[in-house]
């Protein structure tokens, strides 16, 4: 099972994709429980942002590097040539698969104990260090000014399946603003677009307030 957890789909049919699916669910549940216990006064939104900051591709890839999983990965020839053992998405997926393998090979308590140990310092240090993401900030800005929420449209995708790039257009019709963002996932592209348009939205709203006062 350990061998399967460390085997990328490029290396054969018996790979870690199914384990990755289960590991993702386990991590989200265990970390959510940990955050819920550690921060009894946190709102639902705060806890959601904390969990998202703790369980995401970059964070899981960092944990995988700390455990030196890249050195043990089983990759196909193509991924070996392109340095797949260093790729963030592959490392994060492998970490998820490994958590699932631990769960299936032992039990819930053992898996939960391992995850809480690996995430302990990150959970304890998370409060106050997680700012609201640009998309959430932009949404709250629109709601505070009684305006329709921004609309995000996928306008293009480029690249191979394992290295896709997404282009998303963010539109704020009430302010006549548009901004395009790019990222390695649709969510990342939406965040990029929101970050780009946020300053313009604030400036436009400030101008509206000035005109009303005049």
Residues with a known catalytic role = 24, 96
Sign of CA dihedral 43, 117, 61, 95: negative
DSSP assignment of 152-200, as one string?
Answer: EEEEEEES-GGG-EEEEEEEEGGGTEEEEEEESSHHHHHHHHHHHHHHH
82-94 in b/e burial notation, b at 16+ Cβ within 10 A? eebbebebbbbbb
Residues at the binding site are 20, 93, 96
Asked whether the beta carbons of 55 and 27 are under 8 A apart, the reply is: yes
Asked whether the beta carbons of 13 and 79 are under 8 A apart, the reply is: no
Cβ count within 10 A of residue 151: 11
Contacts of 118 (CB under 8 A, 6+ apart): 63
Residues at the binding site for Mg(2+) are 20, 93, 96
Asked whether the beta carbons of 183 and 192 are under 8 A apart, the reply is: yes
């Amino acid at each position: 099972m350990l061998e399967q957890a460390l085997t990328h789909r490029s290396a054969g049919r018996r790979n870690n994709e199914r384990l990755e699916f289960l590991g993702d669910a386990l991590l989200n549940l265990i970390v959510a429980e940990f955050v819920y216990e550690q921060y009894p006064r946190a709102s639902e939104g705060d806890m959601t942002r904390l969990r998202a900051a703790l369980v995401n591709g970059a964070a899981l890839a960092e944990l995988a590097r700390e455990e030196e999983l890249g050195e043990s990965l089983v990759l196909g020839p193509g991924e070996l040539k392109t340095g797949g053992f260093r790729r963030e998405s592959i490392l994060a997926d492998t970490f998820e698969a490994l958590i699932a393998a631990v769960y299936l090979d032992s039990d819930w308590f053992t898996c939960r104990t391992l995850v809480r140990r690996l995430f302990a310092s990150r959970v304890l240090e998370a409060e106050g260090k997680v700012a609201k993401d640009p998309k959430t900030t932009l949404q709250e800005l629109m709601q505070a000014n009684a305006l329709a929420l921004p609309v995000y449209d996928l306008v293009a995708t480029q690249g191979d399946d394992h290295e896709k790039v997404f282009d998303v257009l963010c539109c704020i019709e009430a302010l006549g603003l548009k901004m395009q963002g790019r990222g390695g996932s649709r969510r990342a592209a939406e965040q990029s677009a929101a970050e780009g348009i946020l300053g313009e939205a604030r400036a436009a709203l400030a101008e509206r307030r000035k005109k009303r006062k005049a």
